[in-house]
Amino acid sequence: MGFEGRSVVSIKDFTREELDYILDVAEAMEPLYDKGSDMLRGKVLALLFFEPSTRTRLSFEVAMKKLGGATIGFAKPEATSVMKGENLADTIRVVENYADAIVLRHPREGSARLAAEFSKKPIINAGSGAEEHPTQAMLDLYTVRRERGRIDGLNIGLMGDLRYGRTVHSLAYALSLYKVRLYLISPPELRMRREVLEEIEGKIPVVEVSDLSEVLPELDVLYVTRIQKERFADPLEYERVKGSYRVDLKALEGAKEGLIILHPLPRVDEIAPEVDNTPYARYFRQVRSGVVVRMALLALILGAVR
Ligand code: CP
């Protein structure tokens, strides 16, 4: 399907057929999660993380290693020549000599696009400021399909910080390619960005509400996000919305049977720990999906699977 050598900058660069194919390849990778493979032996993946990460960095690293490849990189820029003033374009033009593909997390919106313009090697966007996190959306789609058996026909709620949360931006774009009804649940200050709404409205039905109780009985999937404290320019603005929503057992009274709750993690206080042991909670299983989806993506981009 033509993935070899391709960058992953925005989920908007993918068609539904391409996303479905990535999910199919991820499913085929499931046995290799335990068994491993050497299909990427001799290949090197660079992990350039200019912002903190636990899941994305480690899951790319483990995905590459499970397929027999190697990784290089850094988890924070303090130990690199960025501290001497080296810019992103130069960093990319250097690292492309060491690696077959580059995973980039950066605080600036547009950073992945800029890196892809300068790089001869594929760039994989692992989070570009508050803009997008396309591989998270792929693993979110995979988790919904695996846990619910399908994506089409579902009522899906995205809840929390829809303004600064990059995962919900990519996921909303991706879901607009499927036959779903989308409920956007957030405090008024954290409503979905206009540019995302403009892109998805007209493709799928979208309902915006400020409280979970207004739509809970409709939902098949509830995707919760934390408030992205690090993105607020004004600390007072953050203080005003802090703690403004929380999913606990009481809030889930009246939920549809079969509801699943997802969260990209990390969680702060927006899902009470008492929810973790209910059949609703799938967010730790979602973490495992991140490995097989990234195995699939690396195998496709590096030409081991076509
Ligand atoms: N979901 C996610 O992006 O987590 P990390 O920030 O830990 O990578």
Q: What is the pLDDT of residues 249-306, one digit of tens each?
A: 999 999 999 999 999 999 999 999 999 999 999 999 999 999 999 999 999 999 999 9
Answer whether residue 39 shows pLDDT above 90. Answer: yes
Active site residue 105: yes
Mean pLDDT of the 48-52 span = 97
Intrachain domains 11-132+289-301 and 134-287 with the same fold = yes
Active site residue 84: yes
CA dist 126 and 124 (Å) reads 6
Determine which residue's CA is closest to atom 4 belonging to ligand 1: 55
- Best CA proximity match to 35, nearest among 298, 295, 297: 295
Active site residue 106: no
219, 203, 139, 121: CA torsion to nearest 10:
-170
Q: Which atom of ligand 1 has the smallest separation from the CA of 265?
A: 1
Residue tagged active-site, from 84, 120, 194, 250? 84
Determine which residue's CA is closest to atom 3 belonging to ligand 1: 56
- Both tokens assigned to 111: 């950073």
- Best CA proximity match to 19, nearest among 253, 296, 303: 296
Instruction: For strands 181-185 and 155-159, give the pairing.
Output: parallel
Determine which residue's CA is closest to atom 6 belonging to ligand 1: 53
CB 242 within 8 A of CB 187: no
Collect all residues with Cβ–Cβ distance below 8 Å to 89 and sequence separation of at least 6: 114, 115, 118
What pLDDT does 133 receive?
98
Beta strands in 172-250, from DSSP E residues, in sequence order: 181-185, 206-209, 221-224
Answer whether residue 172 shows pLDDT above 90. Answer: yes
Answer whether residue 24 shows pLDDT above 90. Answer: yes
pTM of the model: 0.96
Determine which residue's CA is closest to atom 5 belonging to ligand 1: 53
CB 192 within 8 A of CB 255: no
Choosing from 48, 54, 228 the residue with most ligand 1 atoms within 8 A of its CB, the one to mutate for a pocket test is 54
First to last CA, the chain: 6
CA dist 243 and 240 (Å) reads 9
- Both tokens assigned to 172: 């909303």
Answer whether residue 233 shows pLDDT above 90. Answer: no
For the domain made up of 11-132+289-301, give the CATH fold: Rossmann fold (3.40.50)
Active site residue 133: yes
Choosing from 47, 55, 105 the residue with most ligand 1 atoms within 8 A of its CB, the one to mutate for a pocket test is 55
Q: Which atom of ligand 1 has the smallest separation from the CA of 51?
A: 6
How would you class 48 by CB atoms within 10 Å of its CB: exposed for 0-12, middle for 13-18, buried for 19 or more? Answer: buried
- The second-level CATH assignment, the architecture, of 134-287 is 3-Layer(aba) Sandwich (3.40)
> pLDDT tens-digit profile of 114-157?
999 999 999 999 999 999 999 999 999 999 999 999 999 999 99
Domain ranges for the chain, please list them. Answer: 11-132+289-301, 134-287
Pocket of ligand 1 (CB under 6 A): 53-56, 127, 133, 136, 264-266
CA dist 176 and 85 (Å) reads 40
Answer whether residue 20 shows pLDDT above 90. Answer: yes
Collect all residues with Cβ–Cβ distance below 8 Å to 249 and sequence separation of at least 6: 272, 274, 275, 278
Answer whether residue 158 shows pLDDT above 90. Answer: yes
Residue tagged active-site, from 55, 65, 246, 267? 55
Determine which residue's CA is closest to atom 1 belonging to ligand 1: 264
Q: Which atom of ligand 1 has the smallest separation from the CA of 57?
A: 8
CA dist 270 and 212 (Å) reads 12
Helix 111-118 and helix 88-95: axis angle, to 10°? 50
Alpha carbon distances (Å) from 143 to 76, 140, 221 = 29, 5, 11
CB 154 within 8 A of CB 205: no
Alpha carbon distances (Å) from 66 to 62, 69, 142, 146, 184 = 6, 7, 19, 21, 37
What pLDDT does 106 receive?
97
Answer whether residue 54 shows pLDDT above 90. Answer: yes
Residue tagged active-site, from 57, 133, 181, 226? 133
Collect all residues with Cβ–Cβ distance below 8 Å to 185 and sequence separation of at least 6: 157, 158, 159, 160, 209, 210, 211, 212, 214, 215, 245
